[in-house]
């Protein structure tokens, strides 16, 4: 640690505000009420069904925030090759609102997400991704991945 405080070197903050420690002890879970709960029972912190996620396992997904279809495709293929079984396509404001990027405000296009203006853009973004094998979501936006399946079987 080279003289650095323990808190600075060994504790990590997640973006949710959870502090992760390098080591946990039995005392760390003494005040957690849900430790002895079971899946399918109140308070449902271990899943809503008694079988947990044995029959329908969780998706391993990566939120992909890129502005162009080619960047998205590169990131999506990389994510899938590393074990993801689902993609989370973050769309820019213009796409979410259904606006043509040529007519949308400049700050709405490509900022904070993928800009999809045409079916060709969607084809480029998802080229080489088998949508029968990999789930794809686009948050609050229309299900862009499902639309592509309808237009390009």
Phi, psi of 77, rounded to the nearest 5 degrees: -65, -40
17: left (phi over 0), alpha (psi -120 to 50) or beta: left
Rounded to an integer, what distance in angstroms lies between the CA atom of residue 73 and that of residue 16? 28
Closest CA to 107 of 115, 98, 119: 115
pLDDT tens, residue order, the chain (153 aa)? 677 787 777 888 888 888 999 888 989 888 887 888 888 888 888 778 888 777 777 788 888 889 899 999 999 999 999 888 888 888 888 888 888 888 888 888 878 888 888 889 889 999 998 888 887 887 655 555 555 555 554
CB-based contact 94:109 (threshold 8 Å)? yes
Rounded to an integer, what distance in angstroms lies between the CA atom of residue 93 and that of residue 112? 8
Rounded to an integer, what distance in angstroms lies between the CA atom of residue 118 and that of residue 110? 14
Per-residue confidence (pLDDT) for residue 130, from 0 to 100: 87
Per-residue confidence (pLDDT) for residue 61, from 0 to 100: 84
- Give CA separation, 93 vs 100, 119, 122, 124, in Å: 11, 17, 16, 19
């Amino acid at each position: 640690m080279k003289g650095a405080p323990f808190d600075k070197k060994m504790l990590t903050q997640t973006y949710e505000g959870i502090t992760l420690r390098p080591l946990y002890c039995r005392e760390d879970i003494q005040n957690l009420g849900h430790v002895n709960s079971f899946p399918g029972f109140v308070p449902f912190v271990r899943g809503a069904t008694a079988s947990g996620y044995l029959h329908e396992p969780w998706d391993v997904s990566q939120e992909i925030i890129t502005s162009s279809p080619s960047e998205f495709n590169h990131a999506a293929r990389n994510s899938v090759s590393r074990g993801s079984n689902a993609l989370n396509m973050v769309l820019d404001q213009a796409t979410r609102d259904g606006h043509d990027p040529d007519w949308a405000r400049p700050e709405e296009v490509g900022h904070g997400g993928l800009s999809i203006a045409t079916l060709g853009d969607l084809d480029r973004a998802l080229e080489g991704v088998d949508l029968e094998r990999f789930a794809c979501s686009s948050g609050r936006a229309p299900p862009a991945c499902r639309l592509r399946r309808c237009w390009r079987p």
